[in-house]
Amino acid sequence: MTELIETDTWVEIHTIILPAGERASQVPKDTQKVPLEMRAKGFLVEPAALGDEVEIVTPAGRRLRGILSEVNPAYTHQFGVPTPELSTIGREVRAILRQRGQLK
């Protein structure tokens, strides 16, 4: 049985934006041979397993879809593994500011 990852877990998704061969003609030939890929981090909208197509909400509030590729992904630029307790602060502060009428 596949383990489900809980809603609101910090995850990374992967999506092919443009397959190889469908890239713009001005893109260098060697670049045209590989797909244009997107990797994005955000909070899982519904429980899912690795490899499932999922929806996430990014810290900026964008909703994106892709294949669930990693749970609690670390930043590779040496900020270390994310702290779950800190990962929701931005969203919580925006909600408080909206309630106070200080943010649209």
Annotate 71-86 with DSSP letters as a single string: ESPPBTTTTBS--TTT
What share of the chain has pLDDT > 70, as a percent? 99
Which CA distances in Å does 88 have to 9, 25, 28, 47, 84?
Answer: 10, 41, 40, 17, 8
Amino acid at 67: I
In this prediction the pTM is 0.74
* Alpha-carbon gap, residue 76 to 63, rounded angstroms: 23
One-letter amino acid for residue 89 of the chain: I
Q: Considering the chain, what percentage of its residues have pLDDT values greater than 90?
A: 76
**Among the listed residues 6, 7, 33, the one whose alpha carbon sits nearest the alpha carbon of residue 21:** 33
Q: Whole-angstrom Cα distance, residue 98 to residue 14?
A: 31
Predicted confidence at residue 76, as pLDDT, reads 75
pLDDT digits (tens, 9 = 90+) for 39-87: 999 999 999 999 999 999 999 999 999 999 999 998 777 777 888 888 8
Give me the pLDDT at residue 1, please.
Answer: 62
Please give the pLDDT value at position 75.
Answer: 77
Average pLDDT, the chain: 92
